[in-house]
Structure 1
Amino acid sequence: MKMPFPGAAIALTLTLAGCGGSPETSDPTTNGEAPAGHAAEGVVTLSPDRIAAAGIQIARPTTGGVGVIDLPATIEGDPQGMQIVSAALSGRVVALVRNLGESVQRGQTLAVIESREAAQLKGEVEASRARFALARSNLAREQRLFAERVSPEQDLIAARTAATEARIAYDQARSQVSAAGSGAGSLNRIGIVAPIAGQVIARPVTLGQTVAADAELFRVASLGQLSLSLNLQPADAGRVRPGTAVTVTAPGRQGTARVRFVSPALDPQTRLVPTIATLPNRDGAWRVGEAVTAAVQIAGDASGAVRVPTTAIQTVDGRPVVFVRTGTGFLATPVTLGEAAGDGVIVRTGLSGRERIATTGSFTLKAELGKGDASHED
């Protein structure tokens, strides 16, 4: 049977023989027992000082049902908190009341447009108001005459119908003006108002410009809550649910978002799963369009899988190994890998999760192991 690490086995035997020890020297963190299934080959003998000097970092694998994926993400405006303010009528912009970055309240005037259509709408309001006032006066007269038995009931019914129709026409005319904007004082002017409270984030119109109906004048956003857009691998998307926590990181800032939506369909271009999270922004720390890093918590499998950083994995003799800390150094332990997730990977077999492993600097240990093999081959 071929031994996977013959040179290292000889080196271990010679090292222990010179010290009067035994090849079964174990990691004191495992109560004096060598890891199950580990043979004497694949050992790198290093003192604590040399481990520190080499920058090798040691930690335990992650076990249990939760892992983390680090992904690039983009901050977007909340679709429910962003509104495009357009001109309902064509005309000329004669006033711009709010500038970029300024806060506005719902119903507050943003701009004033001078328009012939506005004059027609407001003229219809005044005319319908006058007709309604006349109809009410006629109705009051007919009610009085009917009560005095002077006028027949038919005339009263006709007056009541006319008053109702006049009121409907008046309400309709006012609604048309309200849909176009506010009064703005003058007969031929209409005020464009903010549909929501928020902040002006875009203003493509300029003073004096003639605009068409439905032209965008402002864009108002309520920035107290934003959206986080990211894309998941299909294998990871199945382990992310609405409500899952997402840690959002940018230079000098960190926040927590919650997953709101995981698409049931892949994006046809990227073949990834679009995902949206909600990010609180009451203090205004985040900006729309900003690129950030999102750490998404994903559920693991029911068996409590062991997860290690990808930096802990090295390939020796064509097999993936993890360097497990022992009393005298490290033991290259063959492992069977599962799926990768962000900067980690599942270890199916080879580790129990209680070991201490080299998470950073494992390539240095692989190089040391190679030196031992080369010296014995010479």
Structure 2
Amino acid sequence: MNAQPTTSRRTAIAIAAILALGAAAAFFIVRGTEPAAAGADSHSHAGEKKSSDAHSHGKDEAHDDHDQGHEKPAAEGEKDHDHDHAKEGGEEHEEGVLQLDAARAKVAGVTLAEAGAASIGSTLQLPGEIRFNEDKTAHVVPRVAGVAESVAANLGQVVKKGQLLAILTSPTVSEQRSELMASQKRLGLARTTYQREKQLWQEKISAEQDYLQAQQALREAEIAAANAQQKLAAIGAGVASGGALNRFELRAPFDGVVVEKHLSVGEAVQDSTAVFTISDLRSVWAEMKVAASDLPFVRVGEKATVHATAFESKGTGTVAYVGALIGQETRTAPARITLDNPDGIWRPGLFVNVDLTASSQKAAVTVNSAAIQKMEGEKTVVFVPVQGGFKAQSVKLGKADSQNTEVLQGLSAGQRYVVGGSFVLKSELGKASAEHVH
């Protein structure tokens, strides 16, 4: 009887222990899952809130995006328009296309020409100096000794041929005029004697010998009078005016300018003293020294261009002289160019550069040198007509002279290009590029 209750008690304790353990396990399971569930629930609520906020924010963003989406095509359209405009402007700037109608081109003075073959001359440049044209320069001397009574001409004065320069008093002139007057008196007497003797001989009153002697005396008197007159003419003195036999008038030999003056009132001069230098400056010489290696290219009659070094001026002339001898010290030969100077620009003493054509070569494609323009620093272009305007065509150049320039790349023979008004087109293209940048 006692053994059975003990077994039942043990069984009950075991069951109670198992239940307790199960309850404890369930407790711990429940306590362990509650935080996670709470976290999950919190996370869930937070996620829902976040999802809600995100949904709300996303909705707002979607709304904004939707609104922006409505504006975006316009912006994209503007962007595309600007892009197209930039592309168009960029093309105009990069490729140098200038839109210009015929009327505006005419106002700008645009003229066209065709690229073609031409001879390109290589130029030889030599330094030189302007000098007086010695063929038209006179060193005026009185040709008689005397004293200056008055001086009418001043330094730098323009004078005409025969114009009075100065008046001298000279005893030599007085003597020669006295001799002329005496010879003229003797000539008159000899002529009267000859007429009388001739009449007497014709009337058979006097002998023929008297007539012949009178004729001989007349001839001698004529010679003496002519000789005295020629002496005065040789020194530039004419018949005395106002009874002053010693008065000598010094006059200009030709039209020109008084470039030197060495005479003052009261100054005594000799017959060989250069008292004035007069030069016709309407023609001058450009003198240069030519090295032996350059002599084959400097020929008499060759056209030359003279450039002033002190200011912007040029003129053309002809080589008039090339020296036959080379200087021992300089190893150069002198040469000169006759240069017209109607405006007096070329003054003696002015340094110049002389350009001569040394040789010429044929080029297949050439353009007028005035058509070439510089763009963007060193880029060389020639404007060519295109549809609706003109294009700055990049070219590679070769030989050049003052008239034509060889084109190696960029143009073909017969292609039309702008020869007149190219600088105006360059300016207009620069304006268009500047406006595009702004």
Same fold (TM over 0.5): yes
- Output the aligned Cα RMSD: 3.4
8 Å CA contact 2:282–2:340 kept in 1: the answer is yes
Return the offset for 1:241. 1.6
State the TM-score, normalizing by the size of structure 1: 0.62
Return the offset for 1:64. 4.8
Of 76, 88, 100, which aligns to 2:143? 88
8 Å CA contact 1:180–1:190 kept in 2: the answer is no
One-letter code aligned to 1:295: D
Cα distance in 1 for partners of 2:336, 2:409 equals 37
Return the offset for 1:259. 0.4
Write the mapping of 1:108-127 to structure 2, written as runs, cut at 5 A: 108-127=163-182
The alpha-carbon distance between structure 1 residues 64 and 268, as it changes in their structure 2 partners (threshold 3 A), is: farther
Return the offset for 1:195. 2.2
Return the offset for 1:230. 0.7
The alpha-carbon distance between structure 1 residues 109 and 179, as it changes in their structure 2 partners (threshold 3 A), is: farther
Cα distance in 1 for partners of 2:194, 2:255 equals 43
8 Å CA contact 2:148–2:265 kept in 1: the answer is yes
8 Å CA contact 1:135–1:166 kept in 2: the answer is yes
One-letter code aligned to 1:215: T
Cα distance in 2 for partners of 1:172, 1:272 equals 50
- The aligned counterpart of 1:291 is 351
- The aligned counterpart of 2:408 is 355
The alpha-carbon distance between structure 1 residues 64 and 237, as it changes in their structure 2 partners (threshold 3 A), is: farther
Of 122, 126, 130, which aligns to 1:67? 122
Write the mapping of 1:51-62 to structure 2, written as runs, cut at 5 A: none
Answering whether residue 321 of structure 2 is matched by residue 261 of structure 1, we say yes
Name which structure has the greater RCO, CA cutoff 8 Å, separation 6+: 1
Cα distance in 1 for partners of 2:219, 2:258 equals 42
Return the offset for 1:354. 5.8
Larger CA deviation: 80-89 vs 260-269: 260-269
Answering whether residue 298 of structure 2 is matched by residue 240 of structure 1, we say yes
State the TM-score, normalizing by the size of structure 2: 0.54
Select the structure that is richer in helix: 2
Cα distance in 2 for partners of 1:269, 1:221 equals 31
Of 123, 132, 139, which aligns to 1:77? 132
The alpha-carbon distance between structure 1 residues 303 and 252, as it changes in their structure 2 partners (threshold 3 A), is: closer
Following superposition, which runs of at least 4 residues in structure 1 exceed 4 angstroms of deviation? 62-65
- The aligned counterpart of 1:282 is 342
One-letter code aligned to 1:160: Q
Write the mapping of 1:11-50 to structure 2, written as runs, cut at 5 A: none
Return the offset for 1:167. 1.1
Paired residue secondary structure (2:162): coil
8 Å CA contact 1:232–1:272 kept in 2: the answer is yes
8 Å CA contact 1:241–1:259 kept in 2: the answer is yes
Return the offset for 1:65. 6.4
- The aligned counterpart of 1:130 is 185
Cα distance in 2 for partners of 1:214, 1:97 equals 20
Return the offset for 1:303. 8.8
Answering whether residue 220 of structure 2 is matched by residue 165 of structure 1, we say yes
Cα distance in 2 for partners of 1:290, 1:154 equals 74
Paired residue secondary structure (1:139): helix
1:265-284 residue CA offsets vs partner (Å, 9 max, x unmatched): 21222111211110001222
Write the mapping of 1:320-331 to structure 2, written as runs, cut at 5 A: none
Paired residue secondary structure (1:167): helix
The aligned length equals 262
Cα distance in 1 for partners of 2:141, 2:235 equals 10
Paired residue secondary structure (2:135): helix
8 Å CA contact 1:240–1:299 kept in 2: the answer is no
8 Å CA contact 1:109–1:182 kept in 2: the answer is no
Cα distance in 2 for partners of 1:218, 1:163 equals 42
- The aligned counterpart of 2:272 is 214
Gaps of 5+ in 1: 1-47, 50-61, 305-328, 332-342, 345-352, 358-378
Of 171, 196, 211, which aligns to 1:156? 211
One-letter code aligned to 1:267: G
Percent identity between matched residues is 29
Larger Rg: 2
